[in-house]
Each structure stands twice: as structure tokens, then as C-alpha cells.
Structure 1
Amino acid sequence: MSPARKTLSWAVLAIVITVPIAAAAASPLHAWRDPVYIAAGFAGIIAMIFLLLQPLLIGGYLPGLSGLRGRRVHRIIGGALVMAVTLHVAGLWITSPPDVVDALLFASPTPFSDWGVIAMWAVIATAALAMLRRRLRLRPRTWRLCHTALAAVIVLCSVVHALLIEGTMETMSKVALCTLVVLAAVKLGVDLRVWSLRRP
């Protein structure tokens, strides 16, 4: 890849990352929200951005971050994703514990809560599986299938969760980000043939 294309790739990624954050920061709804609630919302947006970066990293689509380097950053972003989800849920808990309890018990009247909770548990399961991978002595094929299945659940549920929420995220930038997350995940799955019984 030429230097010009590398620069363009990173510039496009920077725009994709900053536009949803900037649009959410300009939302007039912040005037009626507590700072903790606002921080929890931005943690959710950052988590969505991390979901976009993960397949780009593992697929080697980002210039200069392919192969082993990309996998290392993929693991770091995975840890950051867990932290972002934790901050998102913790912030909501601080501002409204009953709502979080209802969501965790799947008793919330808001449909987006159920999708968010499923995505949260899938993120936790993925992190736990990654940490216990060596101890469980998972075969590469088993790890690949489990990780892919959990990642699919995370992407699907997170996207539906975000799209159903009518909050501080600007609609067009939110739809664009969610679409890119899905497309990146699908492209990675196709390129790596993750469901193939044979080694790609």
C-alpha cells in the first residue's frame, strides 16, 4: 500500500471515530442529564467504536497493524472494550439503580435494554474465554468458533441496542457507525472463512 493510501485510510478512520463523538457532544439533551449519565453514554459510544476496530485489527485491514502487531492491539482493544462496557453500565447504575436491575432481570419496559444486557454478557464471556483459553486447552478451531459466535452476538445485539435508543447520539452518524461495524464483522468472517471446518 502506498503512503498516500495509508494516510487516506487513517484519515477516513479518524473521521469515522470522531464524527459520532462530536455529534453526540453537541446534543442538546446533555442540558438535562447528570454528568455521570453523560459519561456513561459516551462510554457506550466508545464501546461501539472499539467494536469497529476489532475486526479491522484482526483482519489486518489497518495499515501498519497487520499480523502479530494487529493481534496484540486487538487484545488491548478487547480489554478496553470490557472497561468501556463496565463504565457504561456502572454509570447507569449510579444514576438509576432500579432501571439497571430491571434490565439485568429482563424486566425493563424498554426493548433496547434486553439487547444491551445480552451484548454485555457476551462481552464478559468473550473476555473470560480469552483469559481461560490456555487453562482450558482449547484447540485453535474450537477457540475460533467460540470467539466468532460470541463476537457475532456482541455485534448484533450492540447494534440493535444502539439503534433502538433515542438519545444523545445523532441519528445519521449512529446509523453509519452501526452499519460499518456490521460490514467490518461480515467482511472479516468472509475473508477468514471463520465457520469453515477446514483451517483457512
Structure 2
Amino acid sequence: MTGWRSARVILVWVAIALAIGVPVALAATSEQLAWRGPVYILAGFAGIVALGLVLVQPLLTGGYLPPLSAYRGRRAHHWIGGALVLAVLVHVAGLWITSPPDMIDALTYTSPTPFSPFGVTAMWAIFIVALLASLRRRLELRPRTWRFIHMPLAIVIVAGSVVHCLLIEGTMETISKAVLCVLVVAATAKVMMDLQVWRKRRTLREESGARQ
């Protein structure tokens, strides 16, 4: 049994590494990099890493990454959230340095490119979640209130990030990009369904205990 658990842990982490690492590795072989400057390349890969972190976040929330305990999973979720904010900042700052007018158009939702509004909306949602998380104790947000705020914003982050990525025809390889996006959506949907079922079961137990 112990051997199976160890193998399962290894398989889970290998799958995560492949899901994120393969798109990054294939993007590194793109011919388009030959015409890009170092700052633009850094910004692009920061965006790919950010999408990979968006995959990890729901897996940590749902406790799907053994052998992390629930407490360590929550702590890791917090730190990965900080890394996600940093990756987004590098992505945006790099693009700003390489082309300020394009970034102004994107941030003001006037860009002619169809992928820009989705990325910008996801960015603001990430920043809002990070800000509220840092102020959660000061604002005295209860767990139920926090979930009520966090879940819709998480949906915006996932949907915006995935659509943004799929619409961009850049250095990322098509199939690996699509697989990563599908995994991000699937992981988020799985976690939300499981948390919903868990809350319903807890409510039923509380109601049953109250009747007794």
C-alpha cells in the first residue's frame, strides 16, 4: 500500500511537471523567438508560467497534490498566489517596455487584438484576489464570505487566462497549449464541484444534528 501511495505521489507530480514543462520547452524551440528581443521573450515566458500556476492553484485548494497536508496546501496556495502575481507583473511590465502604446490600448480595453481584454480582465481579477487575501484578517472575512468573493473571481481568472492564451498565435505550440488550457479548466471545475458537494454534506450533517 505504501509503495502504491509513493508511486501515486510521483505520478501526480510528474504529470504536473509535464503539463507545465512541455509547453514551456516547446515554446523555447519556436522560430518566432529569433525575431524577439530578450525583454519580450521574458514577458512571454512569464505569461506561460503564470498559466501553469493557474493550474496548480485549484489542485492545492482541492488537496490533490500529495503528500501536502491541508495546512501545507493552504500555505502553498498562498505562496503560489504571490508567485502568480509576480509572473503577471513581469509579463505586463515586459510588454510595456517593448511596446507602451499597445499596452495602453490593452489596459484601456481599446486594443484591436481580440485576446487583450480577456488577459487584462484576468489580470485585474488576480490583483483583486491578491489584495483581498493580504487584507483578509484585517477585514475579518469569514471563510464563507471569502469563498463567496474568491470563487467568482477565480472563474474570471481561469476563463480570462484560458481564452487569452488560446487566442494568441505566438510562441506556444498549439496542441500542448490546448492541453494545458483544458487541464486548467478541468482542475478548476473539479475543485468547485467537490467543494460544493462537501458544503452540501456538511450542511446536511448540521441540519441532522440540529434535529436530533
1:78–1:127 contact (8 Å) kept in structure 2: yes
Q: Quote the RMSD (CA, aligned, Å).
A: 1.6
State percent identity of aligned pairs: 63
Q: Which amino acid aligns with 1:177?
A: L
Q: Which amino acid aligns with 1:93?
A: W
Cα deviation for residue 196 of structure 1 reads 5.7
Q: Which one has the largest radius of gyration?
A: 2
12, 15, 18: which is aligned to 2:18? 15
Q: What corresponds to 2:174 in structure 1?
A: 171
* CA distance, structure 1, for counterparts of residue 137 and residue 16 of structure 2: 33
Cα deviation for residue 66 of structure 1 reads 3.2
Cα deviation for residue 160 of structure 1 reads 0.3
Q: Which amino acid aligns with 2:16?
A: L
Cα deviation for residue 183 of structure 1 reads 0.3
Q: What corresponds to 1:41 in structure 2?
A: 44
The C-alpha deviation readout for 1:58-87, integer Å capped at 9, x for no partner, is 111011123001111110000000000000
Question: Deviating runs (4+, > 2 A) in structure 1?
Answer: 194-200
Unaligned runs of 5+ in 1: none
Q: What corresponds to 1:95 in structure 2?
A: 98
Unaligned runs of 5+ in 2: 204-212
User: What aligned pairs does 1:114-129 form with structure 2 within 5 A after superposition?
Assistant: 114-129=117-132
Q: Which amino acid aligns with 1:38?
A: I
The C-alpha deviation readout for 1:120-174, integer Å capped at 9, x for no partner, is 0000000011011111111211101111111110000000000000000000000
| 1:3 maps to 2:9 | no
1:144–1:194 contact (8 Å) kept in structure 2: no
Larger displacement relative to structure 2 (58-67 or 21-30)? 58-67
The C-alpha deviation readout for 1:17-67, integer Å capped at 9, x for no partner, is 210000100000000011100000000000000000001111110111230
* CA distance, structure 2, for counterparts of residue 164 and residue 54 of structure 1: 23
Cα deviation for residue 198 of structure 1 reads 8.1
Q: What corresponds to 1:181 in structure 2?
A: 184
Q: Which amino acid aligns with 1:7?
A: I
1:145–1:195 contact (8 Å) kept in structure 2: no
Q: TM-score, normalised by structure 1?
A: 0.96
* CA distance, structure 1, for counterparts of residue 43 and residue 13 of structure 2: 27
Q: Which amino acid aligns with 1:50?
A: L
